[in-house]
Amino acid sequence: MKKFILVSTLSLLLSSCMVIHNGQMAGVSPATENNFSYKQNAYGIAEVTYVLGIGGFNKTGLVREAKNNLIENFPVNNGEALVNFTVDFDTSYYLGLVITQKVIVTADLIKFD
């Protein structure tokens, strides 16, 4: 029994956090001619934390919130467009008790000439 407790305690203390990354690309640039210039990369982030599987009650959708954050932080002016959207998911596990889910939406901001 002492060995079991010792091994359990050591494995708990020496275990590291685990992070899983995955993503998805959607959309293609609507610009088919060479009449635009690249302005910058825009991004939006949304995050939620679960403790023992409980949390995230005020979230309507992480991808939607990340996209709204992108639009709020990088407003599009006349003659500009957001293209080449990418959605990345980052999930972190801490001791199996706390889970953090982060969604990052990125897009290219282009300006038409």
Query: What is the pLDDT, as a whole number, of residue 105?
Result: 94
Asked if residue 22 has pLDDT above 80, the reply is no
SS3 41: strand
SS3 73: helix
Q: What is the pLDDT of residues 54-75, one digit of tens each?
A: 887 776 788 899 999 999 999 9
Q: Is the pTM of this model over 0.85?
A: no
Residues 56 and 50: their CA atoms lie apart, in Å, by 7
Percentage with pLDDT > 90 across the chain: 30
